[in-house]
A and B are shown apart, each in its own frame.
Chain A
Amino acid sequence: MKKALFLSLLLAVSIGLFAQESGAKQTKIPSVNIKTLDGKAFNTANLTNDGKPIILSFWALWCKPCINELTTIADVYDDWVEETGVKLVAVSIDDARSTSKVGPLVNGKGWEYEVLLDANGDFKRAMNVNMIPHTFLLNGNGEVVWQHTSFSEGSELQLIEMVRKLNRGESIE
């Protein structure tokens, strides 16, 4: 029985890999129904920044490094937007215990990010996020070109460098 299960698994993976080979290289953002800060329904397939890059950052109120990352970026965010046109979308995975505190914290800290609420982790799962902070860089077509987990002081410099590379059309590793 276990063998059969394992074989089905292998089959699924190989089909997937096979399918991947024939397609384009990058993964488009999956379509998941979540909410905006004011409670409106939002489908993640509609994430857009007029063809410019998007930084997608998964965070939560209880995640200290996440808050550090977003606070650090907030200090330079205006410069980033002006220079590269990038937009940061901060996806909070806080559940019903804290969703109502997300807006006040975001405003209380003066963050200018677009904030989305993924209260039951649907978007998190679809994006394969295990640990936060987990940051994705999307190109103008909404495809994931780079991702990084964890935050340490100075990581934001690498992130903006990736955005610059993307804007210059260089390959990202």
Chain B
Amino acid sequence: MKTKSLIFVSAALLLLISPALRAQSFLEGGRVTGNFQMDAQIYRPDSAIGAAKVDEKMLMNSFANLLYTNGNFSAGMRVESYLNPIQGYDPRYKGNGIPFWYGSWKNDQFEITVGNFYEQFGSGMVLRSYEERNLGYDNAIKGAKVRFTPTDGVVLKGLIGTQRYFWDQGPGIVRGLDGDFALNDIFDKNGTIGTRVTLGGSFVSKFQENEEVFAGPDNMLILPQNVGAWAARFNVSKGKFMLDGEYVNKMNDPSAANNFIYKNGESMLLQATYTTKGLGVVLSGKRTDNMSFKSKRSEEGSVLDINYLPALTRQHTYSLAAMYPYATQPNGEMALQGQLNYKLKRGSKIGGKYGTDIALNYSRITSIKREVAEGDTAIGKRGTKGYSSPFLAFGDELYFRDFNIEIQRRFSKDFRLLISYINLKYNIAVIEGHPGEPEVNANIFIADGTYRLNDKNAVKVEYQHLLTKEDDGDWMQLLVEYTIAPKWFFTVADQYNYGNSDKDRRFHYPTVSAGYTAGSNRLSFTYGKQREGILCVGGVCRNVPAANGLTITLTSTF
């Protein structure tokens, strides 16, 4: 494996070097850019909050990207070190190496990439490879990719490869084709038609060699080695209206994620938006049924995903509001979401001198309806058709519900205030996999004010309060931040679990932080206690264990 990657890297470098050696002019236009990030944590054991003893005392993740571009040619690589991976990261990341490199060249019509790459077809429900470095998520594809634009408005893509599995590649081969057709750019080049229509379609398949999986003592399953999936999508817009949607269907794909059932999977996403100056409305609906799609059958964790199933919920940013985050249940869910953004005009009676921004958001996610499939005796039994499910029916079990309102207003040149109220219902038994635990019903209040002392100095005070009878009970948080623009920040915060039903677990989680920014270089320190929780970025979540200690983060772009 190592030898292979060496050969690849050398080949990529040769590609990079040889034309450069031949042509001075080629060399002249070349650029190297890059970035670097390091997260180091120094730990103190703290048995009370559940922070485990770390033998190394100090753990560190770091990565650096180097990109070389020269006209239509580019190449790049990423060096990663996890010595050892910081707490909460998958320990299989342990080590050093160059897991990502590529070479790419293009002309007016073609773009060819070899090596590792990221790609998304449509909304990603059939194929998406991407990374969330802060979560340690990376399902980059290693292989080859071609993008072809035969004429204006048409984009065709084809790719083949295997997916990243920590320092290795997964066992399955992923193959994909995608076409995107902007009808107006093809047939109406003068733009006489006011309605824009874009259509698209994809086909993705994976191949993984057969393996032995049993549904009973003498019942070895006959598994498909090739699993195909297709998707169709549309986008229609006219003036202030836009409607878009995508439907995905996956052939039967028995896997650990669906308990080896032979049911087809499907997912549909529909979104309608209306926007005009000062007003925005979005309504979305989504059905997901048996849509876990991985390039390794036996895999259950969040690795080797071929597709991405976006959650139709608002991603909260305040820490107590983010305590109960939702991620799509790939085995089945029905989701509805609505959002309204409205600006009360500047200078109006209620809007005030600077106007007031109001945002309302509601989402509700339930199970899908499942019935015993024809010829089967039970739902979801290994080696059977699994179940049947009516397409438009909502299941009885509530997974998640979120109603929230946020009002932001600038009262004067120097003072700005945001207030927010959130009501959440969170099915902890399903979402976190803790059967038997009661549903969490939480009310959250947030007030966040920023006062400018002068052009450079500002104070921010943030107050959050979470009330719930379930789980760990009530929490409050106070945070004070002082900033000196554009370089410095200092923060003191405390999270207090004052309402824990266990009086001995009513802990404080105090932290102090400071940071320095110079251009695109940033160094920050945080010292204190961090509660156990779920950290979510861009739809992927990871468990962050309780910790007590010092975190140092350095990031730099050049």
B486 with A158: CB separation less than 8 A = yes
B522 with A149: CB separation less than 8 A = yes
B539 with A95: CB separation less than 8 A = yes
Residues of B within 8 A of A96 (CB): 120, 123-125, 128, 269, 308, 310
B244 with A9: CB separation less than 8 A = no
Bound-state Cα–Cα, A158 to B68, Å: 30
B182 with A103: CB separation less than 8 A = no
Residues of B within 8 A of A106 (CB): 275, 280
Bound-state Cα–Cα, A150 to B13, Å: 34
A13 with B32: CB separation less than 8 A = yes
A104 with B280: CB separation less than 8 A = yes
Shortest beta-carbon distance, A68 to chain B, in Å? 8
> Residue B375 at the A interface, CB < 8 A?
no
B69 with A30: CB separation less than 8 A = yes
Interface string of A40-77 (1 = CB under 8 A from B): 11000000000000000000111110001001000100
Interface string of B151-170 (1 = CB under 8 A from A): 00001000000000000000
B6 with A27: CB separation less than 8 A = no
Most chain-B CB neighbours within 10 Å: which of A15, A64, A104?
A104
Given A16-B32, A19-B32, A146-B519, answer yes or no on A107-B538 (Cβ-Cβ < 8 Å): no
Q: Contact partner of A15 among B17, B69, B182, B235, CB < 8 A? A: B17
Residues of A within 8 A of B30 (CB): 15-16, 19-20, 23
Residues of B within 8 A of A125 (CB): 65, 118
> Residue B27 at the A interface, CB < 8 A?
yes
Bound-state Cα–Cα, A102 to B360, Å: 14
A150 with B118: CB separation less than 8 A = no
Within 8 A of A (CB), among B234-248: 235, 237, 242, 244
Classify the secondary structure of B's interface with A: strand
Residues of A within 8 A of B27 (CB): 18-19, 22
> Residue A82 at the B interface, CB < 8 A?
no
Residues of A within 8 A of B408 (CB): 71
> Residue B456 at the A interface, CB < 8 A?
yes
> Residue A129 at the B interface, CB < 8 A?
yes
Q: Contact partner of B458 among A2, A98, A147, A154, CB < 8 A? A: A154
A110 with B355: CB separation less than 8 A = yes
B242 with A129: CB separation less than 8 A = no
Given A120-B119, A128-B33, answer yes or no on A101-B519 (Cβ-Cβ < 8 Å): no
B339 with A128: CB separation less than 8 A = no
> Residue A171 at the B interface, CB < 8 A?
no
> Residue A89 at the B interface, CB < 8 A?
no
Give the nearest-CB partner of B486 in chain A.
Answer: A155
Shortest beta-carbon distance, B28 to chain A, in Å? 5
Interface string of B118-150 (1 = CB under 8 A from A): 111001110010110100000000000001000
Shortest beta-carbon distance, B36 to chain A, in Å? 8
> Residue B98 at the A interface, CB < 8 A?
yes
A110 with B520: CB separation less than 8 A = no
Interface string of A123-147 (1 = CB under 8 A from B): 0011011110010000000000011
Bound-state Cα–Cα, A27 to B460, Å: 36
Bound-state Cα–Cα, A131 to B13, Å: 29
B555 with A130: CB separation less than 8 A = yes
B354 with A100: CB separation less than 8 A = no
Interface string of B67-95 (1 = CB under 8 A from A): 11110001101010000000000000000
Residues of B within 8 A of A165 (CB): none
Residues of A within 8 A of B68 (CB): 12, 15-16, 19
A155 with B485: CB separation less than 8 A = yes
Residues of B within 8 A of A30 (CB): 69, 74
Bound-state Cα–Cα, A20 to B67, Å: 12
A148 with B242: CB separation less than 8 A = no
Shortest beta-carbon distance, B462 to chain A, in Å? 10
B235 with A39: CB separation less than 8 A = yes
Bound-state Cα–Cα, A119 to B359, Å: 22
A157 with B128: CB separation less than 8 A = no
Residues of A within 8 A of B485 (CB): 152-155, 157-158
Shortest beta-carbon distance, B528 to chain A, in Å? 20
A sample of 27 inter-chain contacts (CB < 8 A) reads: A1-B3, A12-B66, A12-B75, A16-B32, A23-B29, A38-B242, A62-B538, A96-B310, A97-B315, A100-B242, A104-B274, A104-B280, A104-B282, A106-B275, A107-B276, A109-B357, A119-B124, A121-B131, A125-B65, A125-B118, A131-B522, A131-B555, A147-B520, A148-B517, A150-B486, A152-B483, A154-B485
Given contacts A12-B75, A19-B31, A108-B280, 10 further A-B contacts (CB under 8 A): A38-B237, A95-B310, A105-B280, A109-B343, A110-B343, A121-B130, A130-B557, A148-B486, A152-B484, A155-B485
